[in-house]
Amino acid sequence: MILDSTGATWVQKPDQSWKHTYQLVLGEDGAGTARTIEFEAVGPEVALYMAQQQCRGRPAELIEDGRSLGQVQCVPHGGYWLLSPSARPGGPG
């Protein structure tokens, strides 16, 4: 699945290399369930949109093409983001 910043689904043509593979890695929730969401998108703004829709109030490690970009968290009632550097080796910071 390829998403743009509005959440619309795009179909990738074989000759297009502008997409990236993203993962949102969520730790265990109150029920002890960890979750990883993987998707393809045209840029990190789409990953933030996905995090806002799927992870509201819950921190998630944001990974682009296998490289950690850091931890993101959209506060439960919206309005702002909390961003933290990656805790993984090889990540930024």
In a domain, 90, yes or no: no
34, 26 Cβ separation under 8 angstroms: yes
Q: Is 27 helix (H, G, I), strand (E, B) or coil?
A: coil
Mean predicted confidence (pLDDT) in 2-8: 52
Q: Which domain holds residue 9?
A: 2-84
In a domain, 58, yes or no: yes
Q: pLDDT of 26-83, one tens digit each? A: 877 778 888 899 998 888 888 888 888 887 778 889 999 999 999 988 777 767 778 8
Number of domain units in the chain: 1
Residue 70 inside a domain? The answer is yes
Count other C-beta atoms under 10 Å from residue 46's C-beta: 22
Q: Answer whether residue 93 is part of any domain.
A: no
- CA–CA dist 53, 8 (Å, integer): 13
Question: pTM for the whole thing?
Answer: 0.69
Separation between Cα atoms, residue 54 and residue 12, nearest integer Å: 23
Query: Is 45 among the domain residues?
Result: yes
Give the residue among 70, 49, 38 at the shortest CA–CA distance from 6: 49
